[in-house]
Amino acid sequence: MAQLWGGRFTKETDKNVYLFNASVGFDKRLYRQDIEGSIAHAIMLEKQGIISLQEKDAIVKGLTEIREKLESGSLEISEDYEDIHSFVEAKLTEMVGDAGKKLHTGRSRNDQVALDMKLYVRSEIIEIDEELKAFQEILLRIMEENLETVMPGFTHLQKAQPVTLAHHLGAYFEMFLRDRSRLTDIYKRMNFCPLGAGALAGTTYPLDRGYTASMLGFEGPTLNSMDSVSDRDYVIELLSALSTIMMHLSRFSEEVIIWNSNEYGFVEIDDAFSTGSSIMPQKKNPDIAELVRGKTGRVYGHLMGMLTTMKAIPLAYNKDMQEDKEGTFDAIDTVKECLLMFMQMMDSMKFNKDVMKRSAARGFTNATDAADYLVGRGVPFRDAHGIIGELVLKCIEKNKSIEEMSIGELKEISEVFEEDIYDAVSLKSCVERRMTTGAPGPEAMKAVIADYRKYMEKDYLEKGGKKK
């Protein structure tokens, strides 16, 4: 049991209390951020004349060595320390002596942990954004290859109107585009440095907070020391953005599961990304998609957990805030893993274009176009709707699609039908004639994809602040 306090205590901490209070078991993953923040702090202390050049050099050298040793595995973070901050400081002092004890001048673990967590969240935002971008690249590739792959579009899970695979996947491209823009917003909003806020009321040492902030790639220092140590909004915002990403992935998963079902057969998941059954030899299950759908629950749970943890904490720091870590780490890990698995599954997926097309040809997805045909010949839309409804009923009776009805059969329902109806309701023209921006017509989609390509070239996060 090694801790950074004890002077005012006359008894040892109860062993179980120590364990209950300790966070090193999970905050050890912040070692890189903790060391990065401490190096910046030490450089600033020296610049301000608070520690000597020799002390600063010893601290920076010691911290760099600790990082190297942790990375090479020659030093392990032992759980005998209360938290990562205690561990790093103790190791530093072991290595460089008294200079190590001066590192904590003008700092508290409250602003230290707030900084560590911000540095961590910030770099994870960049990584998640990069993963989303890689997934968008895969989607764009599939979209470009499937501008003319006709499939049914659904409402209420009932066939509605024909669309294309490119168009359907484009909807997910849009979702991930919004996800990325949410991450950029969070990044910009959170990118202010809490270091120097002290325990809650700043410090009497002449710190240069702007200097540490800029060394660490922040826009500037935070402007209220009490808020600095007790703000976890950025964690909540990230969990919310992650929940939305999972919601999108979960909807996508659901579609993949449906498309992969025996009844639909729209897609075939690659063998490397599906699993078998221990009893039914014929089975090839979409477990990856099901797991992604299932893991959505735990990410939502972490968002609720954090909102609830924060809801009644009086200013400023309270130990409740230590609870910000495990859920956030788990949510980040989950999203990254799900994104990776899902994008690889999509990248290797086979699309059964013929099945999709056949499915679109059945189920009267061209009924609206048939009504539009009548409208084009002067029939008011309401009447046209009624006529086509009658026609669909006839088709069902005869087990035919609209285009399989003879012109005689069509004329029995309305004299307005002429030979050109067949071209008007062919799947190809149903899709091709939908050319308004955002519609599935291949020409319209091509223009949209050209915009997406331009979007992919830009680095939106870079605009939000420095990367590291």
Q: Which residues are catalytic?
A: 156, 277
Encoded tokens for 315: 């200013």
Amino acid in the structure at residue 315: L
- Provide, rounded to whole angstroms, the least separation between the CB of residue 188 and ligand ARG: 25
Nearer to ligand ARG, 208 or 323 (CB): 323
Q: Is 111 in the site for ligand ARG (CB under 6 A)?
A: no
350-351 vs 192-193, strand pairing mode:
unpaired
| 324, 235 contact by CB (below 8 A) | yes
Q: Which stretch binds ligand ARG (CB under 6 A): 52-60, 314-322, 331-339, 357-365?
A: 314-322
Encoded tokens for 9: 């205590």
Q: Single out the residue of 203, 2, 25 nearest to residue 93, CA to CA.
A: 2
Q: Is 109 in the site for ligand ARG (CB under 6 A)?
A: yes
Q: Which stretch binds ligand ARG (CB under 6 A): 6-14, 105-113, 393-401, 411-419?
A: 105-113
Residue number closest to ligand ARG, CB atom: 322
Amino acid in the structure at residue 424: A
- Provide, rounded to whole angstroms, the least separation between the CB of residue 325 and ligand ARG: 6
Rounding to the nearest 10 degrees, give the CA dihedral for residues 357, 359, 362, 365.
Answer: -80
Per-residue contact string for residues 316-335; x = within reach of ligand ARG by CB under 6 A? -x-x-xx-------------
Per-residue contact string for residues 13-52; x = within reach of ligand ARG by CB under 6 A? ----------x---x-------------------------
The residue whose two tokens read 């190096």 is: 39
Rg (CA), the chain: 30
**Choice from 50, 113, 335, 379 touching ligand ARG (CB under 6 A):** 113
Q: Is 425 exposed, middle or buried (0-12, 13-18, 19+ CB in 10 A)?
A: buried
Nearer to ligand ARG, 120 or 317 (CB): 317
Q: Is 228 in the site for ligand ARG (CB under 6 A)?
A: no
- Provide, rounded to whole angstroms, the least separation between the CB of residue 49 and ligand ARG: 28
Q: Is 83 in the site for ligand ARG (CB under 6 A)?
A: yes
130 CB-near residues (< 8 Å, 6+ apart): none
Q: Single out the residue of 151, 179, 183, 187 nearest to residue 167, CA to CA.
A: 151
Strand positions, DSSP E, 239-342: 267-268
- Provide, rounded to whole angstroms, the least separation between the CB of residue 51 and ligand ARG: 23
- The residue ranges that bind ligand ARG (CB under 6 A) are 23, 27, 83, 109-110, 113, 317, 319, 321-322
